[in-house]
A and B are shown apart, each in its own frame.
Chain A
Amino acid sequence: MNVIEINNLTKYYGRNKGIEDVTLSVREGEIFGFIGPNGAGKSTTIRLLLSLIYPTSGSATIFGRDCIRFGHEIRNDIGYLPSEVFYYDKMKVKDLLKYSASFFKGDHSARMKELADIMELDLNRRIDELSYGNKKKVGIVQGLLHEPRLIMLDEPTSGLDPLMQNKFFNLILEENKKGATVFFSSHILAEVQKMCNRVAIIRDGHIVKTEDIATLRKDTYKKVYVRTDKKAGDPSKYPGVSNVEIVDGEIRFLYKGDINQLLALVTKNAVLDLNIVEPDLEEVFMHYYQ
């Protein structure tokens, strides 16, 4: 079953394009990465799903129900963590979390305590006394305390130190194991690489590609580092070669295609050093941007 289904969703802000014709679906139980540079339309898509903003055209469903008409019911099962968190400054953390919990059915105080312990969050502080990172923790607890079936994260790790990021990712993975679907938007590829099963790449308001993270990395590109004895020519004239850089006599490029052809190409000259590695997503990703 698809938890999120987006059909030709388009949003214009006046004349400015937010997103255009975005179509994608997120399956139940997966961690779905949504990557793209700043301003590509990630937040716009998420805000549309939460009906904070309304589409110019197209539609989206969550749990099989229209996300505008049934928005308030759907949101019972959504935990949302925005990239920048803002809460009522004069409230205590505890009161804010209770206020948040009061919108959801059931009693969530035990889970609230548990999450606050894990994230090392002091419940008795006032919101306006908190550092940015601590506010972020409030956001995490607030987003997870009602045990949502769908977790939407919009660039969630900014402001968290690496230790907390780790705890946070573990929390998310745990929720995922318990059955929660995760929709994870980010421009930090390492995170996505670590967490996600599938990714959609968005650029300039359009979905460029949706793929399994494994396929995206394996099938597509190799990163090649070669050092030869002679001054080598530019290899970019050969098929499958792209992103050529020459640094201190070392030639670096991305290669897509038959590995044998690559080897034949490389060994035209005497090779001093050769490295063929999996490119990180960033490089794969840069390719989609060109």
Chain B
Amino acid sequence: MNIYKREMRTKLVSAAIWSASVFGIVILFMSVFSAFTQSTDMIDMIMQNYPEELLQAFGMSGVDIGSVAGYFSMCLLFVQLTLAVQSSIYGFSVLSEEERDMTADFLLTRPVTRTKVYFSKILASLTAMVITWAATWGSTFFNIEVFSGNKEYDPAIFVKMMAVIILFQLFFFSTGLVISVILKKIRGVLAYAMSLAFGMYMISSIGSIIREETLGYLTPFKYFEPNSLIIKGRYEPVMLIICCSVIVAAMVSSYILYIRRNIHAAS
């Protein structure tokens, strides 16, 4: 419990900042929704002038962006990017930071098992991610309620969008985690986290542009693409299974690797 508590002290602040960022993004988008819908005709015209590939790259093709859900799906992309960066940072740093700061010697010479250290740290990160997840739900429903005006929307579709976000977060967290224990040393967490988050997004965009569906199996931006959710009204079962398998495999292997890891001396 003591490790968890210590970990939470910094994680709570971090979760609060990320939650506020998510709220900021959503309010920024949704506050201009009514202005946006009033000029739909013009926007439709502009959109038609864009090449189809570009729209696909931004996940904007095939849905009516004048609808609440369609409009929100653009916003969700930025929320997803934010959460991807946050989760990746947690993943890359939570097990590696004590080694980088050389405090691992201290922690691991206390009478604790590696298993306990592992689970305490993972649990603290999960708590922070769940807090941010909850904040994402809150921000979404609060802002669409306030800013959707007289436009009708189906809350069910938003619930579906929100529900899978934790899987999205876990994907980035567990991937970062497993990479951090495979590598000998992680120097700049932020660089790794950004590369993972934006790399995955790039793969998703490129996949859309060149219409190569197999690329979609690699990236959670495709697993939970809001557009296909809006159009089909359901998740892609294969994508969901792939995502969960990646998470489970990454968590299990990171545990095994961490338990066996050699903690090298400072010098």
Chain B nearest CB, measured from A150 CB (Å) = 12
Give CA–CA (A71, B262) in the complex, Å: 14
**A211 interfacial contact with B, CB 8 Å:** no
* A residues less than 8 Å from B104 (CB atoms): 52
Contact B263 A47 (CB under 8 A): yes
Contact B106 A86 (CB under 8 A): yes
Contacting chain A: which of B107-115, B148-156, B218-226? B107-115
* B residues less than 8 Å from A102 (CB atoms): 2
Give CA–CA (A87, B267) in the complex, Å: 15
Number of interface residues of B (CB under 8 A): 22
Contact B101 A52 (CB under 8 A): no
Can you sample 5 A-B contacts with CB below 8 Å?
Answer: A52-B109, A73-B111, A74-B111, A88-B103, A102-B2
Give CA–CA (A92, B29) in the complex, Å: 43
* B residues less than 8 Å from A73 (CB atoms): 111
* B residues less than 8 Å from A86 (CB atoms): 101-103, 105-106, 266
CB nearest to A76 among chain B residues:
B111
Binding site for B on A (CB under 8 A): 13, 43, 47, 50-54, 71-76, 78, 80, 82, 84-89, 99-100, 102-104, 142
Q: Tell whether A54 pairs with B260 under 8 Å between CB atoms, given A82-B105, A100-B106.
A: yes
Contact A80 B109 (CB under 8 A): yes
CB nearest to A86 among chain B residues:
B102
Contact A78 B109 (CB under 8 A): yes
Give CA–CA (A13, B264) in the complex, Å: 10
CB within 8 A of A53: which of B101, B102, B263, B266?
A: B263
Contact B262 A99 (CB under 8 A): no
Chain B nearest CB, measured from A37 CB (Å) = 14
**B211 interfacial contact with A, CB 8 Å:** no
Contact A72 B112 (CB under 8 A): yes
Contact B111 A50 (CB under 8 A): no
Q: Tell whether A72 pairs with B2 under 8 Å between CB atoms, given A47-B265, A88-B103.
A: no
**B234 interfacial contact with A, CB 8 Å:** no
Contact B111 A75 (CB under 8 A): yes
In chain B, positions 172-194 with a C-beta closer than 8 Å to chain A are none
Contact A72 B113 (CB under 8 A): yes
Give CA–CA (A87, B110) in the complex, Å: 13
Chain B nearest CB, measured from A100 CB (Å) = 7
Contact A72 B111 (CB under 8 A): yes
Known: A75-B109, A75-B112. 12 other contacts (CB 8 A): A50-B108, A52-B108, A52-B109, A52-B263, A53-B262, A72-B111, A72-B116, A74-B111, A80-B109, A84-B266, A86-B102, A103-B111
Chain B nearest CB, measured from A288 CB (Å) = 24
CB within 8 A of B110: which of A43, A54, A103?
A: A103
Contact A103 B263 (CB under 8 A): no
In chain B, positions 1-24 with a C-beta closer than 8 Å to chain A are 2, 6
